[in-house]
Chains A and B, each alone.
Chain A
Amino acid sequence: MAIADIRTQFTADLASVCTDADQKALRDQYLGRKGGAVAGLMKALGAASPDQRPALGQQINELKQHIETTLDQRLASLSSARRPAGAVDVTLPGRVPAIGRLHPLTQLRSRIEAVFARQGYEILDGPETEDDWHNFEALNMPPEHPARDMQDTLYLSGPWDRPARPVGAVRGGGPSGPRVSGADVPHPATLLRTHTSSMQIRYMESHEPPVRVIAPGRVYRRDNLDLTHTPMFQQVEGLVVGEGVTMADLKGTIIGFLRELFVPDIPVVFRPSFFPYTEPSADVFIGCQRCKGAGCSMCKRTGFIEVLGCGMVHPAVFEAVGYDATHVTGFAFGVGIERLALLMHGVEDIRLFYENDLRFLEQFPL
């Protein structure tokens, strides 16, 4: 066989080398001392004419070196592909530690709390069962006030003298120290609070201004369960009281809050409204994030969605808690966490938040 043919044949044979044994067999076939192809060529070299011999010898040597080098490379690549002892398939799934998730409403509530905590607001906790004074009367809603219809109330069977649950950290001494007002007389609980404003009353009853608090928590209304209503939901209400607090401050606070929660360029619109405990009062709308203001089913084709209510604290509320309404002004706002959650996450059925289906809960961040 000619040298060139052997070289071609070797290249073809090399392609089928998969194991060390294949490699060894091939080496024997070409480089074996007896019967190897190269050995055959060397034998034939003796028969060649002396003037051809040096050139032919050089070609044979080159072929031999080529085969050796190529086989060595193949051997190296075969051994590097071999799995070392104890090797595992690292692409198999790992053992995932069980990590639970916070409820989306808690996640959103924490975000809201963080925004206000950063602005120096104290975060309050307070009772969910309330008396008429803290839920209605002190908020400028005397008995038979038509505004009571706005919030259909759930009442408790038999007043309940539950142990007090203090609202707000007790501060020592000084102008903002704890105070005791006539309204501190305990009232038995007769209803489920319809808003967390009741905590604001409790806080003002026990603290002198300035006040800067938010009151998050569960509230209750006599509403049927449907796509957008539940008899229980969560609110965050805010209250700022002090000298020189204005409606412009309210606007800045709300706009800043909504921009941080949604997007920095979100349109925010204030429209006059009515709440018994604020005067002037406002409803706040944001530009619909789904249609970007063009009008869609979510915003009822208006381009805007109502997200919260707010206003300047009514002087009657200050009088009820013993604040001097001629010296201090204040603003208050209230936002429904579920409502914001529906908008932010594009959820269309509020009941999903209460079914606690892990397939739903696991759609929210760890």
Chain B
Amino acid sequence: MKVLVSWLRELVDVPVTPEVLANDLHMAGFEVASVDPQPPSQPPDAVIDFEITANRPDCLSMIGLAREVATKYGTTLRAPRGADLGPADASRLDPLTVTIENPTGCPRYCAAIADVTVGPSPAWLVDRLTAAGIRSISNIVDITNYVLLELGHPLHAFDLDTLAGSALHIRSARAGETLTTLDGQKRALLPEMLVIADRDRAQALAGIMGGGHSEVSAATTTIAIESAWFEPTSIRKTSKRLGLSTEASHRFERGADVAAAGEALARACGLIEQIGGGTVRRGWIDACASVPAPRVVRLAYARVGAVLGADVHVDDIRRILTGLGFVLAGEAVDHTLASVPSWRVDVSRDVDLIEEVARHYGYDRLPATFPALAQVPPRPDARLEQDGELRRLATAAGFSECVTFSFISEKSAREFAPADELVAITNPLSELFAVLRPSLLPGLVDAVAHNRRHGQRDVRLFELGTRFLRGTGESRTLSLAWSGAATSEHWSGRARPADLFDLVGVVDVLGRAMGLTLQVQASVRPWLTPGRTAEVHAVDAGGGARLLGVAGHVQASLTTARDIPAHDDVLVAELDLNAVSDLVTMLGVASAHPLPRFPSIVRDLSILVDESLLAAQVRGTIQAAAPVTLVRVAVFDRYQGKGIVEGKVSVSYRLTFQALDRTLTDAEADAAMATIVDALTKAHGAVRR
């Protein structure tokens, strides 16, 4: 809302400069977008552009802001005067008839008739409209716009001679009906849209824009001026549906002043005569289906202090509310009954009045205190605490945290999840953000590619966030991506490239940190390289395995498509934290055991087995065959090549035996080893080397 200060001064005394005014109203809730000084004058003039919040349609007008000024500075408001139109009739002013067929959409419709000479507007009128950002069209149209700015009430002028039957019907649009609006667009109307029609057809889109056929032109001699009130929701829906927003619709959809319809009509008629634009006929139409009685809101004075935490004096409360147009009834010491002025569509409760008091009292005058703590503060959500721990561990393992978008392109999503698991967005702004991510991996692999393109070869990234799958809903997910070296670059030697076992080791650490026992097995995923894909399971209390996630090499076709060189492996892991949330003991209290008091015995065992035999199977056989004194099994060598038969592999294990209650003898260890070797030979045809 652009306000020409010299125009405002006509409505209220402004005892300050435009700059001070702008700042004071800014601090009263009217954000100032700009202050444009005008040519030097006394007092100084300027155009102040205010951003009016959606709850204050009354301040989309000069009079509304003038009321704020009057309250702010304690000066007097001078409401503009209109013509005396004489008595009103409910439906008829010869030859015009008005019929409200849809009283829900239009509770009040006022009209007057004027015989006019259409021509240019006087300079002052053109200047004021220009300052407000509105183009001058003709004296009649300019006056409707002038009143819209001055009083905030949209008006419309019809060329009365173009209206079939000299009739105005306020009705819903008919099925298939069309209207060419003033902007030249032919618009298809829907039955939920409200129109102003003559006897035969729609002539205006109610509250939004007039029609071309009944537009005021240079040839117009008689006009019907409309000043109505339309139901906000209906205007809003139609405006959105047609993608057509105007000064009129902007005000009606936020809520115009139903009581101001007659006043605005009189003001327009008075201006027509004042500028010599024509003569207004005596009498007017006020078709008023229903105008709500003013709301009365009870305000207990104590409540002002209770909400604001400041001791605002009753005199201040009454002064502010009265200044803004509230009529205060009742002389009780502890409360007042405030009649809400018709233009304040935003006020219906005591807190609304308290806000008015606070705005004009000044937020800066409120004290700054702290709320009392009434109870022991609870711990943060356990999920958030665990997230923090997992982030700490991931960074300690060398991974830097990413934040990628929660929505991705459908193409990327399909590469990493089955199509029927995807949740799409109905109104995405871009194809790139069309589907909720079913996995964090597309974003991470993109981030690896971005870094690779910018010269970073060794990249370790992770993200902790939500993935969205139709089947399982939102799940907290931790994903890792690793490309390049396993060790940092150093002058002492070449860095070793990272492989799957580096990543599985990190997953193992994360799993142990969560208190999980993990099992890894070979698996298949379409986005991971066959033979280099592992499923990670967590063992539950009953010994069952629950899928936690996957780890593997991303398919080369997916990485090369992202400009990652074909020889660069990208290793990824994705863990679904929701799947194991009941098994996680992280942040719980650990119980400690005493250290063993007796020495352990370490024995090495090298065996020759088929290369296809899984390490997990050998380990299982060893553990099953060994006595309880076997406390640790480690693989320390794995060898194929010279001296080893083709198709076989030599694997070396280091076995640690220990008893808690005695020192083990060599004989006991020898016996255990014999049993283990025997079991390995029987189960796998293993040969001890």
A residues with CB within 8 A of B? 92-93, 95-103, 105-106, 110, 113, 117, 119-125, 127-129, 144, 146-147, 149-150, 154-158, 160, 162-163, 165, 168-169, 171, 176, 192, 210, 212, 218, 220, 222-225, 230-232, 240, 242, 244-249, 251-253, 255-256, 269-274, 279-283, 312, 314-315, 329, 331, 353-359, 361-362, 366
Residues of B within 8 A of A110 (CB): 388
Q: Among the listed A95, A218, A273, which residue makes an inter-chain contact with B53, where contact means beta carbons less than 8 Å apart?
A: A273
* Known A97-B488, A100-B394, A120-B377: A354·B399 in contact at CB below 8 Å: no
Contact status B363-A156, CB under 8 Å = no
Q: Is B375 an interface residue (CB 8 A)?
A: yes
Segment of B139-147, B284-292, B332-340, B353-361 in the binding face: B353-361
Q: Does B494 contact A (CB under 8 A)?
A: no
Pick from A162, A251, A281: contact of B355, CB below 8 A: A281
| B residues in contact with A218, CB < 8 Å | 406, 465-466
- Say whether B380 contacts A117, CB under 8 Å: yes
Q: Determine the residue in chain A with the shortest Cβ distance to B432.
A: A225
B236 at the A/B interface (Cβ < 8 Å)?
A: yes
Contact A122 B377 (CB under 8 A): yes
Given A220-B407, A279-B349, 15 extra CB contacts under 8 A: A93-B491, A103-B401, A105-B403, A122-B377, A147-B54, A157-B426, A160-B470, A231-B429, A232-B405, A251-B369, A253-B370, A272-B355, A274-B55, A279-B352, A353-B403
Which residues from A are CB-within-8-Å of B29?
271-274
B535 at the interface (CB under 8 A from A): no
Say yes or no: A272 contacts B391, CB within 8 Å: no
Q: Does B461 belong to the interface (CB within 8 Å)?
A: yes
Interface centre among B349, B363, B391, B406 (most CB of A within 10 A): B363
Are A154 and B427 within 8 A (Cβ)? Answer: yes
**Closest residue on chain B to residue A272 by CB atoms:** B29
> Could you jot down 16 A-B contacts, CB within 8 Å?
A99-B395, A101-B395, A121-B377, A122-B380, A146-B54, A154-B425, A218-B466, A223-B429, A240-B371, A248-B310, A249-B369, A271-B363, A273-B53, A315-B349, A329-B307, A357-B454
The number of residue pairs between A and B whose CB atoms lie closer than 8 Å in the complex comes to 260
Q: Is the CB of A125 within 8 A of B383?
A: yes
Whole-angstrom distance between the Cβ of B453 and the nearest chain A Cβ: 10
Which of B56, B253, B474 is within 8 Å of A274, CB to CB?
B56
* Contact between chains at A355 and B369 (CB < 8 Å): no
Q: A156-B426, A251-B367 are in contact. Are A100 and B359 (CB under 8 A)?
A: no
Report the minimal beta-carbon distance from A252 to chain B, rounded to whole angstroms: 4
Q: How far is the CA of A18 from the CA of B236 in the complex (A)?
A: 96
Q: How far is the CA of A94 from the CA of B403 in the complex (A)?
A: 31
B53 pairs with A274, CB closer than 8 A: yes
Q: Does B27 contact A (CB under 8 A)?
A: yes
Q: Which residues of B contact A (CB under 8 A)?
A: 26-29, 31, 53-56, 232-233, 236-237, 253-254, 306-310, 349, 351-352, 354-355, 358-359, 363-364, 366-375, 377-384, 388, 391, 394-407, 423-430, 433, 436, 447, 450-451, 454, 456, 459-462, 465-466, 468, 470, 472-474, 487-488, 490-492
B residues within 8 A CB of A230? 405
**Bound complex: CA A272 to CA B428 (Å):** 33
On whether A102 and B395 interact (CB within 8 A), knowing A144-B237, A192-B425, A361-B400, the answer reads yes
Residue of B nearest to A283 (CB): B31
Q: Is the CB of B373 within 8 A of A212?
A: yes
* Residue among A97, A146, A354 with the highest chain B CB neighbour number at 10 A: A146
A95-B489 Cα distance, complex, nearest whole Å:
8
Contacts of B306 in A (CB 8 A): 244, 246, 329
Given A98-B460, A144-B233, are A356 and B355 also a contact pair (CB < 8 Å)?
no
Q: Is the CB of B473 within 8 A of A100?
A: no
B351 touches A314 (CB 8 A): yes
Q: A123 to chain B: which residues have CB within 8 Å?
A: 380-381, 384
Could you tell me if B400 and A155 are in contact, using CB atoms closer than 8 angstroms?
Answer: no
Q: Which residues of B contact A312 (CB under 8 A)?
A: 307, 351
Min distance, Cβ A280 to any Cβ of chain B, angstroms: 4
B618 CB to nearest A CB, Å: 32
B299 to chain A, nearest CB (A): 13
Tell me how far the C-beta of B454 lies from the nearest C-beta in chain A, rounded to whole angstroms: 6
- Docked pose: A271 CA to B10 CA in angstroms: 28
